[in-house]
Amino acid sequence: MKKCLFCKIKMKGKSLKCQFCDYFLACSPEMREGLAYLENGFSKINEELDDLEQKAHLVIGLIFRRHKYSAKDLQDSAQMGRIKSLAGKIKDDVTRWEAAGKLLYRLRKQYNDYAESIHGRIHQLNQMIERRKPTLWEKIGRFFRSLYSAVVNLLPNLFQKAIAFNRRKLVTA
């Protein structure tokens, strides 16, 4: 007699599926095919995430060291688009299987586990990209960019005040 792993009820005969929770006790060809599809799809996503993680740590230059890819470049990269596309395709396929009544409980559970792990990994990667320590030259460049934007924002006000002052000077003279 077989026992269901989830509801712990003994099954009579040679049934392949638990009568109470629809858990497949034996791995059918459909199950193997579905698991292989999920493993293949999520392994491609993991490879893309590994490559993106390596790019996040790349630093170039001997004297003027800086990160090869900016945080915005990494988060808006084609790789991130491919990851979202692959995850969306897998989700659509799982939804289609469910609509057709072919989604087995074990496949749903496996999909949820993989999706949760990928979601956590993407979140962790985004946090790591945002919090990575800038190099000395990136700090200096950020200072000059902020100085430039402050000057550009203040110039129109200074010119307006100077023009108004000159007009008052001309009117009073």
Tell me, yes or no, whether 113 and 152 share the same domain: no
> What are the pLDDT digits (tens) for 39-90?
999 999 999 999 999 988 877 877 777 778 888 888 888 999 999 999 999 9
Q: What is the pTM of this model?
A: 0.65
Query: Whole domain around residue 163: which residue ranges?
Result: 143-168
* Band of pLDDT at residue 27, cut at 50, 70 and 90: low
Tell me if 129 is assigned to some domain.
yes
Provide the domain count of the chain.
2
Tell me, yes or no, whether 159 and 95 share the same domain: no
Tell me if 160 is assigned to some domain.
yes
* Band of pLDDT at residue 124, cut at 50, 70 and 90: very high
Tell me if 48 is assigned to some domain.
yes
Question: What length does the chain have?
Answer: 173
Q: Which of 102, 114, 127, 132 is closest to 46 using CA atoms?
A: 114
Residues 102-113 as b/e (b if ≥16 CB within 10 A, e otherwise) read ebbebbeebbee
